[in-house]
């Protein structure tokens, strides 16, 4: 579905990604984990088209998408839910969701998609006339995921969906992520909450210094001693 080869990208003269190789197959949930500042978000932003790669390639179903520009990437069904939610603060929940279907591929199904999102997150229907900026963190996150779904993605990228949320909200959000996975949507999840991400992921990549240092199934990495020590904060006996 998505193939990334020797990807280099960054901001200005700072190269954050230093040769990433990564594959995402259709229907898979892939987690990208690692400490703060290793390039996880940069990787998603580059796939999403917000950043142009300085070297290497990104292909989606055989078509090169690196450097196409975000609006063209969305039209190919690759959609990113950004870190920090980034709802349009002075639009209602409903408007936020509707603008999610801006892409030409999503517009004709707008009404149907909206019903599906409301079915997944009933709280959003209750709050549909409230301004985005007035929702609680967990509700904002649900609205942001719902807005991403409105674009009818074939690949949905979630950037730090649990960041800054109360434990109960994290639980709700991840229930939704599982529900989305069970519909067969391909997911790429970036998380600092490594335990949470590995539990839901089929496979995972560990990134360090802008490179992939380890990859495997969620279970393999959960049991990997280095990962446990470095990212899960678990000891051998835990």
Partner 1 sequence: MQAILQLLVSGVLLGGVYALGALGLNLIFGVAKVVNFAHGEFLMLGMFAAYWLMTLTGINPYLGAPIIGAAFFLVGLAFYAGLMRFTIYKPELTQVFATLGLSILLQNAALVAWSADYRTIQIMPAGWESIQVLGAYVPTNRLVAFLYAVAILLAVLVFLRSTFIGRAIEAVSQDLVAARLMGIDPDRVFLMTFGLGIAITGVAGGVLMPSFYAFPSVGSFFVLVAFVVVVLGGLGSIAGTILGGLLLGLVETGIGYVAPDLKEATHFVLLILLLAVRPHGLLGVKGAEKETLK
Backbone angles phi, psi at 182, to 5 degrees: -65, -15
Q: Per rule CB under 8 A, is residue 89 in the interface with partner 1?
A: yes
* Binding region for partner 1 (CB under 8 A) out of 29-37, 102-110, 174-182, 219-227: 102-110
Decide whether 102 or 183 has the Cβ nearer to partner 1: 102
Taking contact as CB under 8 A, which single stretch among the options 82-90, 186-194, 198-206, 215-223 is the one that binds partner 1? Answer: 82-90
Question: Which listed residue (40, 94, 147, 172) binds partner 1 by CB under 8 A?
Answer: 147
For the bound state, the minimum distance from the C-beta of residue 227 to partner 1, rounded and expressed in Å, comes to: 30
Q: Which listed residue (17, 48, 158, 177) binds partner 1 by CB under 8 A?
A: 48
Spell out a b/e string for 165-179, using b for 16 or more CB atoms within 10 Å of the CB, else e: beeebbebbbebbee
Task: State the DSSP H helix or E strand holding residue 215, giving kind and residue range, or none if neither.
Answer: strand 211-217
For partner 1, the closer of residues 116 and 202 by Cβ is 116
Q: Which of 35, 99, 123, 232 binds partner 1 (CB under 8 A)?
A: 99
Residue from 39, 56, 66, 100 in contact with partner 1 (CB under 8 A):
100
169's CB contacts (< 8 A; 6+ apart) are: 136, 137, 138, 141
| Number of other CB atoms surrounding residue 11 within 10 Å | 10
Q: Which residues contact 18 (CB under 8 A, 6 or more apart)?
A: 8, 209, 210, 211
Q: Does 142 bind partner 1 (CB under 8 A)?
A: no
**Nearest-5° Cα angle at 85, 35 to 184:** 80
Q: What's the alpha-carbon Rg for the chain, to the nearest Å?
A: 17
Is 163 a residue that touches partner 1 (CB under 8 A)?
no
71 binds partner 1 (CB under 8 A): yes
Task: CB nearer to partner 1: give 147 or 228.
Answer: 147
Q: How far is CA 93 from the centre of its chain?
A: 20
User: Residue 70 or 176: which CB sits closer to partner 1?
Assistant: 70
159: Cβ–Cβ under 8 A, 6 or more apart, which residues? Answer: 40, 41, 44, 80, 81, 82, 83, 190
Q: Is 25 in the site for partner 1 (CB under 8 A)?
A: no
Task: Give the pair of three-digit tokens for residue 119.
Answer: 């079915």
Q: Interface with partner 1 by CB under 8 A: which residues?
A: 48-50, 69-71, 74-75, 79-82, 86-91, 95, 98-100, 102-104, 106-107, 147, 151
């Amino acid at each position: 579905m998505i193939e990334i080869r020797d990807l280099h990208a960054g901001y200005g003269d700072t190269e954050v990604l230093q040769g990433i190789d990564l594959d995402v197959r259709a229907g898979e949930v892939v987690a990208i984990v690692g400490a703060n500042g290793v390039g996880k978000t940069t990787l998603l932003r580059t796939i999403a088209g917000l950043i142009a790669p300085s070297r290497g390639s990104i292909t989606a179903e055989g078509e090169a998408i690196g450097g196409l520009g975000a609006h063209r990437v969305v039209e190919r069904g690759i959609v990113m839910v950004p870190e920090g939610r980034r709802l349009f603060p002075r639009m209602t929940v409903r408007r936020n969701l509707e603008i999610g279907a801006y892409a030409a591929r999503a517009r004709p199904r707008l009404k149907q998609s909206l019903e599906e999102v409301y079915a997944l997150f009933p709280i959003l229907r209750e709050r549909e006339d409230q301004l985005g900026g007035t929702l609680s963190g967990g509700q904002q996150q649900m609205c942001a995921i719902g807005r991403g779904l409105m674009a009818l993605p074939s690949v949905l990228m979630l950037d730090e969906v649990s960041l800054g949320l109360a434990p109960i909200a994290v639980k709700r959000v991840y229930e939704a992520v599982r529900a989305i996975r069970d519909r067969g949507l391909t997911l790429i999840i970036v998380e600092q909450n490594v335990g949470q991400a590995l539990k839901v992921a089929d496979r995972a990549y560990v990134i360090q210094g802008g490179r992939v240092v380890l990859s495997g199934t969620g279970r393999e990495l959960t049991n990997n001693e280095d990962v446990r020590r470095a990212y899960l904060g678990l000891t051998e006996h835990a």
